[in-house]
Structure 1
């Protein structure tokens, strides 16, 4: 009698084990990928209940049992996970215990305008677009109520930013803003003496002008020197990218003489000194050039127009006019 009971009990155990194994290891076809979010501090019980409610696993208790048997219930990583259409409860558990949550990478390039940065973030999939309907001023106030001015241009560092899927886009802006504040403060603290900047924000403005004028490493510090030398003697900066920025939507790929003569707050042909705000998002190299211009006494430069991206720098107007004839007028 005892032998029969033992055999029956053993058989039931084997059947239960086989059933549990099937519920745990057999992939379940869910038709499409599933995005699962694990909140910080959330336990396996709540996670398994959500999976069961959404019909992603066959049985939440099989998942719970495996989690406690393996100790995985104390090893959940918060974040968002993208699960394939065919996935088993065991694969989910391993992902929660061992894998990283899915992340989204947003790439912001040096020289972009803030409006372009916003467009990229607004069109990035798998994040929450909490700021999409906000004005630039409201967004900046949300990031830093004590930000310099109400204009966000230039205040966000161009780089690649990685955030968890389903994160708020505010997180990306906050990361980029804080990164720029650190980079700018470092550039300001390490700047060479005698520069005509009253504060870090003016250094940032200068960096944005350098960023838009050249992308060539060999030219940046010389471009910075031209602008610094002009500011030091009260000469207008006369740089086309500022005119373009001031034109806004009127710019259609070409600057005409009338555009150079039309006064805007950003037209450095009609107004002396720096522009009221940056005109782009400057990168590390441009910040360093603004903080450490070359010691050359250049006052002019013109593109060589030879595909190299380099410019010809000149000390005098006569030298500059000769360079214009050589590199610009001759080609035209």
Structure 2
């Protein structure tokens, strides 16, 4: 091989290595500028390529490099909405790939007292806002077709963990929740509800009261039976949690904490006041846990009619079959409350 050919080959090799280096830098070397190991970016429905560049620009070191890769891979012509995971050290090739991979949200909700609170909770995790979710859940056609009302549609939401894409529509989210509700009500659960002479919504409404009365899983079937006994005997439920719900609703303040129900509170005019209204309230006063629902469906076997908080086993209750025994238990609790100075 002559000297001239060697020179040409040497120059060619050098140029090739330069090209490889440039390609590597443009395609694969780090082009991120955030300190966290990973972060999520959200691209709203209907976003354009220009919108995407504005969204990710705080996290990309060299936007021209990203734009070149986006053009080569035609991402600029096929923008996707959703939630996307960016990892520290990603190069342009991986950045573009990441912006095409919609990552699901693991959505969870529980212990919500009102549909409004539930919508706030959900909207913090997916794209539809609170107003849109609330309007979708209260759509009159949907309610009528599925046997719900504005007061009891919260019964449709079974507390659990679910997986959704961030950009799911409010309608598709609602329909998925309806399907989960229908799946929850198996033949066995439906039969148990029928044996009680109750509909699924009525079961969940009573379960919401049981849920509020006690956090102790072992006690819930006992409390559930007390209320079922009252219903069977034609007694008012006289459930303090329903009065608390009525007070919060009157004040439009569900953040307030009410530890003690006073005599005057029992007179509040509200369909949720089970001291003055017979039977169940118009809908659930909270989103009950599944074990509270199952406690109503499989209640304890007892003849208790009364119960109040225990001063000997805090967190638990004292139960009674007679009013005389209940008065003894209730006085102990009232005396204890007075010693603590609890007025409300």
Assess same fold via TM > 0.5. yes
Matched, 1:129 2:128: yes
1:58-97 correspondence to structure 2 within 5 Å? 58=65, 80-83=83-86, 87-92=90-95, 95=98
The DSSP-based 3-state class of the residue aligned with 1:153 is: helix
Q: With structure 2 as the length reference, what TM-score do the two structures score?
A: 0.73
The DSSP-based 3-state class of the residue aligned with 1:298 is: coil
Matched, 1:258 2:256: no
In 2, the alpha carbon distance for the partners of 1:264 and 1:288 equals 28
2:219 is matched with 219
| Cα offset, 1:28, TM superposition | 2.5
How many residues matched? 312
In 2, the alpha carbon distance for the partners of 1:57 and 1:95 equals 17
TM-aligned CA distance change 1:34 to 1:261, over 3 Å: closer
CA contact (8 A) 2:105 2:165 kept: yes
In 2, the alpha carbon distance for the partners of 1:305 and 1:111 equals 28
The DSSP-based 3-state class of the residue aligned with 1:217 is: coil
Matched, 1:11 2:9: no
CA displacement, residues 223-279 of structure 1 (integer Å, 9 cap, x when unaligned): 110111111111111001112222314375253323212332111111111112111
TM-aligned CA distance change 1:193 to 1:62, over 3 Å: closer
Matched, 1:273 2:279: yes
In 1, the alpha carbon distance for the partners of 2:290 and 2:86 equals 38
In 1, the alpha carbon distance for the partners of 2:335 and 2:25 equals 79
1:72 is matched with none
| Cα offset, 1:139, TM superposition | 2.7
In 2, the alpha carbon distance for the partners of 1:298 and 1:133 equals 44
CA contact (8 A) 1:111 1:211 kept: no
CA contact (8 A) 2:104 2:166 kept: yes
2:204 is matched with 204
TM-aligned CA distance change 1:36 to 1:210, over 3 Å: closer
The DSSP-based 3-state class of the residue aligned with 2:218 is: helix
The DSSP-based 3-state class of the residue aligned with 1:289 is: helix
1:114 is matched with 115
Q: Which moved more, 1:202-211 or 1:77-86?
A: 77-86
Structure 2: unaligned runs, 5 residues or longer: 74-79, 339-344
In 1, the alpha carbon distance for the partners of 2:325 and 2:120 equals 43
The DSSP-based 3-state class of the residue aligned with 1:322 is: helix
CA contact (8 A) 2:306 2:320 kept: yes
Structure 1: unaligned runs, 5 residues or longer: 40-45, 68-76
In 2, the alpha carbon distance for the partners of 1:161 and 1:208 equals 21
TM-aligned CA distance change 1:285 to 1:331, over 3 Å: same
In 1, the alpha carbon distance for the partners of 2:279 and 2:140 equals 30
Q: Which moved more, 1:294-303 or 1:175-184?
A: 175-184
2:196 is matched with 195
CA displacement, residues 136-181 of structure 1 (integer Å, 9 cap, x when unaligned): 4543339945231233333212233443445556665554444333
In 2, the alpha carbon distance for the partners of 1:34 and 1:196 equals 49
2:301 is matched with 295
In 1, the alpha carbon distance for the partners of 2:132 and 2:203 equals 28
The DSSP-based 3-state class of the residue aligned with 1:80 is: strand
CA displacement, residues 285-320 of structure 1 (integer Å, 9 cap, x when unaligned): 011011011111111111104563111111111121
In 1, the alpha carbon distance for the partners of 2:70 and 2:336 equals 76
TM-aligned CA distance change 1:143 to 1:170, over 3 Å: farther
The DSSP-based 3-state class of the residue aligned with 1:133 is: helix
CA contact (8 A) 1:155 1:281 kept: no
CA contact (8 A) 2:119 2:133 kept: no
In 2, the alpha carbon distance for the partners of 1:192 and 1:36 equals 43
